[in-house]
Structure 1
Amino acid sequence: MRLKSTSTQYGVVAVSIHWISAALILALIASGFVAEATQPNPTVLRIHIGLGGAILMLTVLRLAWWLFADSKPANIPGSGWQVRLSGLVHILFYVVIFGMAASGIGMLVLSNALPVLIDGTSATLPDFDTLAPRRAHGFGARLMIALLILHTGAALYHHVFKRDGTLQRMWFARS
């Protein structure tokens, strides 16, 4: 498989970033809901923050890859509304990821919880629900779930019903 994308297939870098990001986002969502249910739990929160940082770095890497190193394959022909909706969902993924990172960082700064999480002390963590960015963070998590369902549903629709190769384009092709 080539490092860079071709006109019909995503390259190994784009495919790797996509699938690693997908797995980490699922783990991030799960850890977020566990953190919410078990608050305060420093161990779960450390995992959640680490996953969030990894997603943020992968997203920046993905944007840099597309801007400076690679070009995306051409869109598979489809109806105009499907192409527009696909573009909107991808843009919303970026907006939600950066918004979630900003609100997460905002909660850490406003709560002064980072020293407790880094030191591993037994100090009490604050109630994050009292912080302004918490509502945006929770909304972003639910919006991310909706986007994931829409994105996955569309990929499966194209794979199972249209059989147009959409899913294979974002998998590790043999050279």
Structure 2
Amino acid sequence: MRSRTWHPLIILLHWATVMLILLQYGLSRLMGDETRDLLSRFALYQWHKSFGLTLAGLVLLRLIVRRLLPTPAPVPMPRWQRAVAATVQGGLYLCLLALPVSGFLMAAAAPIQIPTLFFGLFSVPHPIGPDQAIYDAMLRAHAALFDIMAALAFIHAGAALLHQFVLRDGLMQRMWFGRS
């Protein structure tokens, strides 16, 4: 018999991803505060880049683990709902993979070259050098991808809350620790 919940590792990776996204958003807001001194802004950028690379690795791990571990039994729902859910989740995964790539390429192509220091432990080599056109394109892409991801995340969370409080079909408990 299939479990009614996701594997605990998948649940952990899901909520770790959510927490890192919220952290990244907070860091991005602080980075934009031009009243901060250069040293603290430098630190914020390094934290943002380090957590972005961590998030990319976490999402890749999550995709691998999701393929390897069993999935829970599906919750009965109309085919159109299942198609919308798959589209939203697929879009979220695409954004979660493309955001770190666009951010890293933006940092690499920046007119002022600042090394990417992964949590201060080592320098991550940039695959390209300064290029204003690439920098501008990646800056726009990074902002647009975040906006798309945020919209998809609101749809995802809203649907989960709808299933929890209106439909009461147990869908939301599948992505939480403990028994369903």
Alignment map for 1:90-101 (pairs within 5 Å)? 90-101=89-100
Report how far residue 11 of structure 1 moved.
1.3
Report how far residue 32 of structure 1 moved.
1.8
Match 1:29 to one of 25, 32, 35: 25
CA deviations 1:75-131 (Å, max 9, x no partner) are 211112211110011111111111111111111111222268969xxxxxx9x9963
- Structure 1 residue runs of 5 or longer lacking an equivalent are 1-5, 120-125
The AA in structure 1 aligned to 2:45 is L
Please tell me whether the aligned partners of residues 7 and 72 of structure 1 are also in contact (alpha carbons under 8 angstroms): yes
Please tell me whether the aligned partners of residues 31 and 45 of structure 2 are also in contact (alpha carbons under 8 angstroms): yes
CA distance in 2, matches of 1:65, 1:115: 28
1:10 maps onto 2:6 in alignment: yes
Q: What is the RMSD computed on CA atoms of the aligned residues? A: 2.6
1:148 maps onto 2:135 in alignment: no
Percent identical:
28
| Alpha carbons of structure 1 residues 107 and 73: separation in structure 2 relative to 1, 3 Å | same
CA distance in 2, matches of 1:37, 1:170: 36
Question: What is residue 113 of structure 1 aligned with on the other side?
Answer: 114
The AA in structure 2 aligned to 1:113 is I
The AA in structure 2 aligned to 1:142 is D
CA deviations 1:15-64 (Å, max 9, x no partner) are 10011111111111221233234386212111211221121111011111
Alignment map for 1:154-165 (pairs within 5 Å)? 154-165=159-170
Question: What is residue 168 of structure 1 aligned with on the other side?
Answer: 173
Please tell me whether the aligned partners of residues 164 and 172 of structure 2 are also in contact (alpha carbons under 8 angstroms): yes
TM-score by length of 1: 0.82
| Alpha carbons of structure 1 residues 48 and 115: separation in structure 2 relative to 1, 3 Å | closer
Question: What is residue 62 of structure 1 aligned with on the other side?
Answer: 62
CA deviations 1:136-157 (Å, max 9, x no partner) are 0000111111111111111011
Please tell me whether the aligned partners of residues 29 and 141 of structure 1 are also in contact (alpha carbons under 8 angstroms): no
The AA in structure 1 aligned to 2:107 is L
Match 2:144 to one of 101, 119, 139: 139
CA distance in 1, matches of 2:71, 2:117: 43
Return the structure number with greater helix share.
1
- Structure 2 residue runs of 5 or longer lacking an equivalent are 122-129
CA distance in 2, matches of 1:159, 1:116: 42
